[in-house]
Structure 1
């Protein structure tokens, strides 16, 4: 049985945020989406340690604190390090991929260009995580 997820979407591009929300709506999913425009805002939200997300979807290329910097801070926190973090980015840079896996990500997904492919990918991703047993904070 699929459960509703609380998803922290860390993305600085508002068009990408709208695309993600439109995709969730198109798929008739009732997951709770929490938006953060950058890594600093996300860490501020997470530092409260209340209402933690089930999963984090993280873009790499952001101002203030990039995705890899965010990951290194997140994965060094005794409570937050267990939240599955999936990279959702346009970067296929091998060094980025390696750094992210070293930091402890749960997956690395390159955003497809076609909207239909994006919808299919996000649908599969959220279906997978909604079936997983997750640690509740």
Structure 2
């Protein structure tokens, strides 16, 4: 029993350390992205700011690709709109497990419309939806985004 207790404690400590490392990585990526967007576009609007946290959870390779894509955008209003779309697209792809080249064709084909619907939400509605994202099933999220178009 004592040995099992000790192993359980060690496993709990290890999981805690891994979570701490992951949170630190995500916070670092969020800070990099926030500073990058501020330098590129000036002040962050509420939509860009709301998308920072979920995008920060991207795997390092995908996060780097996102930064490269953002660096190619112009610093004007059109560039800001493209940045919003890129961030929203990455959030949705990550949410539906579509990061990289493993995209399911059905969801992949719906992503552009879902991005449009996501960005049509008010900043408050977007922030709330993104906060609830981990608890929503795929069907619930698709329904909410489909309903937001109406």
TM-score by length of 2: 0.26
Rg (Cα) greater in structure: 2
Higher helix share: 2
Higher strand share: 1
TM-score by length of 1: 0.28
